[in-house]
């Protein structure tokens, strides 16, 4: 999870002491230092007028540097279109997170390239690019400060209380925040919020930045049914409301949350084996339909 940790906190910059106060921070934090070759990521490169959100993986192959002989992705070709809601599914280890790691340039493809609005990702100013991506990891990091500051955290501009409330409402977090003793001024500690509530605060944090692309790594651990419902509603709201429309990429572990996605990409051993809408993939009777049946069996 080291990658996800830095993604949830990359805007901290050099402020490691603040990072270390993060609720639940562990020694894993230090592994992050290996990940980002900072020289390579200095703010040089292109800043586009606007991030449209067309992402193309062109013949992308990849092995992790620590295991260069183990191919993880083999000549992956995938295009994500602006404003599309795309879910990536597949068994554990099939390469879902790796696809996202490469998009964020936590690693570079071994072969092939990623294009963003037609421009090679390597030519873009990486800070500029990442600022336009809202990332919500599996285990969102909240900090020992009030809820409002947690939502504002990392936002590159000054934001008003009204905007914070707007983001919280978008993320279905406003009502539970208002029911806390101090409302938005309640200090977050480990025991204050459920997993689902933390995730909604993290979604509010991501939405406050008005990202062009929202990346969601759904929690693997079962959320309660209510939280699952909210996550599903957020995805629908964010993707259907014309004022907030943006690309959404969700790594989904529970297929119930992504049935309405525009496209579902099914991964197996580093390859895309199916790509289509829920109903199409069910009809196809392949891996997706087997995964869906298996989850239903487990639920019953």
Q: Shortest Cβ distance from residue 89 to ligand ATP (Å)?
A: 9
Closer to ligand ATP at the Cβ: 97 or 199?
A: 97
Please list the residues that pair with 124 across neighbouring strands: 46
Closer to ligand ATP at the Cβ: 28 or 44?
A: 28
Q: Shortest Cβ distance from residue 111 to ligand ATP (Å)?
A: 16
- Backbone phi and psi for residue 155, each to the nearest 5 degrees, phi listed first: -70, 125
Please list the residues that pair with 56 across neighbouring strands: 79, 115
- What is the DSSP code string of the chain? -HHHHHHHHGGGTT-HHHHHTBTT--THHHHHHHH--TTTTSS-SB--SS----EEEEEEEE--TTSTTS-SEEEEEEEE-TT-EEEEEESTTSSHHHHHHHHTTSS--SEEEEEETTEEGGGB-HHHHHHTEEEE-SS---BSSBHHHHHHTT-SS---HHHHHHHHHHTT-HHHHHTSTTGGGPBP-TTTS-HHHHHHHHHHHHHHT--SEEEEE--SSPPPHHHHHHHHHHHHHHHH-TTT--EEEEE-SSGGGGTT-SEEEEEETTEEEEEE-HHHHHHHTSHHHHHHHHHHHHH-
Q: Shortest Cβ distance from residue 284 to ligand ATP (Å)?
A: 20
Which among 231, 257, 263 has a CA at the least distance from the CA of 80?
A: 263
Closer to ligand ATP at the Cβ: 56 or 97?
A: 97
Q: Shortest Cβ distance from residue 271 to ligand ATP (Å)?
A: 12
Closer to ligand ATP at the Cβ: 73 or 171?
A: 73
Footprint of ligand ATP on this chain (CB under 6 A)?
64, 66-67, 72, 90, 92-98
Sort 181 into a burial class: Cβ within 10 Å, 0-12 / 13-18 / 19+.
exposed
Q: Shortest Cβ distance from residue 295 to ligand ATP (Å)?
A: 14
Closer to ligand ATP at the Cβ: 13 or 93?
A: 93
Closer to ligand ATP at the Cβ: 177 or 252?
A: 252
Q: Shortest Cβ distance from residue 146 to ligand ATP (Å)?
A: 32
Q: Shortest Cβ distance from residue 209 to ligand ATP (Å)?
A: 24
Closer to ligand ATP at the Cβ: 9 or 97?
A: 97
- Backbone phi and psi for residue 58, each to the nearest 5 degrees, phi listed first: -110, 105
Q: Shortest Cβ distance from residue 28 to ligand ATP (Å)?
A: 11
Distance of alpha carbon 204 from alpha carbon 172, whole angstroms: 8
Closer to ligand ATP at the Cβ: 31 or 277?
A: 31
């Amino acid at each position: 999870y080291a990658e996800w940790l830095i993604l949830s906190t990359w805007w901290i910059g050099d402020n490691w002491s603040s990072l270390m106060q993060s609720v639940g921070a562990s020694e894993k934090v230090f592994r992050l230092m290996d990940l980002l070759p900072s020289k390579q990521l200095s703010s040089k490169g292109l800043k586009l007028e606007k991030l449209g959100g067309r992402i193309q993986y062109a013949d992308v192959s990849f092995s992790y540097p620590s295991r260069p002989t183990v191919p993880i992705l083999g000549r992956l070709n995938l295009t994500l279109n602006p404003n599309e809601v795309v879910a990536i599914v597949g068994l554990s280890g099939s390469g879902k997170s790796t696809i996202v790691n490469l998009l964020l340039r936590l690693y570079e493809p071994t072969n092939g390239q990623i294009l963003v609005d037609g421009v090679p990702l390597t030519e873009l100013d990486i800070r500029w690019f990442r600022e336009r991506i809202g990332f919500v990891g599996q285990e969102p990091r909240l900090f020992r400060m009030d809820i409002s500051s947690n939502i504002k955290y990392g936002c590159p501009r000054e934001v008003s209380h009204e905007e914070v409330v707007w983001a919280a409402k978008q993320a279905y977090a406003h009502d539970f925040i208002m029911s806390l003793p101090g409302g938005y001024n309640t200090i977050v500690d480990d025991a204050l919020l459920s997993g689902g509530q933390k995730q909604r605060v993290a979604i509010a944090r991501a939405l406050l930045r008005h990202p062009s692309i929202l990346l969601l790594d759904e929690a693997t651990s079962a959320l309660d049914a209510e939280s699952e419902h909210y996550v599903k509603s957020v995805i629908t709201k964010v993707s259907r409301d014309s004022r907030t429309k943006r690309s959404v990429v969700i790594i989904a572990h529970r297929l119930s949350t992504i049935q309405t996605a525009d496209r579902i990409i099914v991964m197996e051993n580093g390859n895309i084996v199916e790509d289509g809408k829920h109903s199409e993939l069910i009809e196809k009777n392949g891996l997706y339909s087997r995964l869906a049946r298996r989850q239903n069996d487990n639920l019953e």
